Structure formats: C-alpha cells, structure tokens
Amino acid sequence: MQFISIKQNFIWPGIACLALVLWLKRMRGLALILATGIAVLASDSIGALLKDWIARDRPCHALPNIKEIASCSNSFSFPSNHAINSFTGATIISLAYKNFAFVLYIIALLIGYSRVYLGVHYPTDVLAGALCGILIGYAGYKYVYLTTIKLLKNRFPATIDHERAETKFSDR
C-alpha cells in the first residue's frame, strides 16, 4: 500500500504516458495534458486551502493506537490531497476518453484506500477528497479541456479534423 501512496513512483510511468498521449493524440492529447495539469493544480491548491481552513488532525497524530506504517505528515488531514488530485485526473481523462474510466477510477480508489490503510487519513478525508476531485475534474473538462479543443480547432482546423478522422477510421 505504501508504494501507491508515494508520488515519486509515478514519475517515469507518468512521463511515458504523457509521451504516448502526445504521440497518439497530438493536439487533443496536448489539450488533455494542459487541462489535466490546470485542473490538478487547482485541486491541489483548493485542497491545501481547505486543510488549513478546517485544521483537522491526522489520525496518526490524534489516535494513540494507530500503528504508523508510513511517516505522518505535519499538515492537516481533511481533505486528502492524494484523493482530490487522483480523482481530478481520473475524472477529466475519463470524460475525454471513456475507455480508460474503469482503470483510472480503480487507481484513484487504491490511492485513497492506501491513505486510510497507512493511517494518515480518516475515511471521510478520502471521501471528501474524491467528491471534490470529481467536481473539479468535471469543471476542468467542461471549462478548460473543451475550451482548449475549440481554440485549437479554430487555430488549427486541419490538424484537429485529421485526428478525428483517424480516430473514426481506427474505431471501425
């Protein structure tokens, strides 16, 4: 469980996925990467603000019987930024490419579960983070991704139309 909670374990797989998305989807991939980055940055900032505003102690600090598996952060607990960020990413990518929804939400759920398992969050921290992440991901899809696609379509119509034609042809 500790492996899935450590952000550094996702750097190289993340870079590989980014390169693959850019190579396969080109402009739409660029729009998705930009929109996801903006949405995750927003969700991380909102989560940090909520943590300081609500100021709920982590279970590893508040409960004496918690066996510390992972190091316990000195930041507050509610909501889980891991959950917010993972559900934001899962939502925005799933709305753009529905075939990935199941896998992405399973990964997001595992990340959330790992935070409770490691004793650094309460289940309600993860639930609130998941709900916030889904809402922020939906907003990121609707207002950032779709707007970026429209802008790119107006600026580079041949490229976007060509990508759509390739997608329709390869789906047959």
- Within 10 angstroms of residue 57's Cβ, the number of other Cβ atoms is 12
Angle, vertex CA 166, rays to CA 160 and CA 168, nearest 5:
105
Mean predicted confidence (pLDDT) in 92-113: 91
The answer, yes or no, to whether residue 154 has pLDDT greater than 50, is: yes
Asked whether the beta carbons of 128 and 136 are under 8 A apart, the reply is no
Residue 172: pLDDT over 50: no
Q: Is 70 helix (H, G, I), strand (E, B) or coil?
A: coil
Query: What was the pLDDT predicted at 127?
Result: 93
pLDDT at 61 over 80: no
Looking at per-residue pLDDT, the higher value among 156 and 127 belongs to 127
Distance CA 18, CA 84 (A): 20
* Tokens found for residue 55: 């100021």
Cβ(137)–Cβ(85) under 8 Å? no
